[in-house]
Amino acid sequence: MNIDSINRGIVLDHIQAGRSIEIDRALGLRELDCSVAIIRNVRSDAMGKKDIIKIDEDIDIDLDVLGYIDPGITVNIIVDGVITEKKHLSLPKRLKNIVRCKNPRCITTTETALDQEFVLIDPARRVYRCAYCDAELGAGV
């Protein structure tokens, strides 16, 4: 398979195999008016298999969304066909308007103008807690 290199844009690398479609939806990549290549199940010495997403345009990407879905992702910024910057992600300490609280008694259910905020309470298990009602949420679910 031959996927062309990009001249200016972003490459999301080291995505857990099978998570690229979730990232596509979360970032709204289908709405972009540029080339987006989703490459699934690429052989990787370190990971066994991985996904890669190539975006042929320099766009703003919410790194908290990516870190929440898969903190192992590497974000490569490409300028003139060369990687000019590599960003290594981690679980965000706070999530704001990325996920919704599932507790029907949470104030965010009735007060829809409130931001949906979650705080990381257990990085090892990837568990977040709602800032308003303390409901727990597992990451990437």
pLDDT for res 139? 52
Average pLDDT of each block of 10 consecutive residues along the chain (141 residues)? Answer: 78 95 93 92 91 93 93 95 94 94 93 94 94 83 43
Per-residue CA distances from 22 to 63, 74, 83, 110, 132 (Å): 14, 16, 25, 28, 27
Residues of CATH 2.30.30 domain(s) within the chain? 94-138
Residue 2's CB is within 10 A of a number of other CB atoms, namely 3
pLDDT for res 12? 96
Which CATH number does 9-88 carry? Answer: 3.30.70.140
pLDDT for res 6? 87
State how far Cα 30 lies from the chain centre: 15
Fold adopted by 94-138:
SH3 type barrels. (2.30.30)
pLDDT for res 3? 65
Name, in order, each residue with C-beta under 8 angstroms of 76's C-beta and a sequence gap of 6 or more: 10, 11, 12, 13, 83, 85, 86, 87
pLDDT for res 141? 43
pLDDT for res 17? 94
Query: pTM score, two decimals?
Result: 0.84
69 by Cβ neighbours in 10 Å (0-12 / 13-18 / 19+) ranks as: buried
DSSP letter at 31 equals: G
pLDDT for res 21? 94
Residues of CATH 3.30.70.140 domain(s) within the chain? 9-88
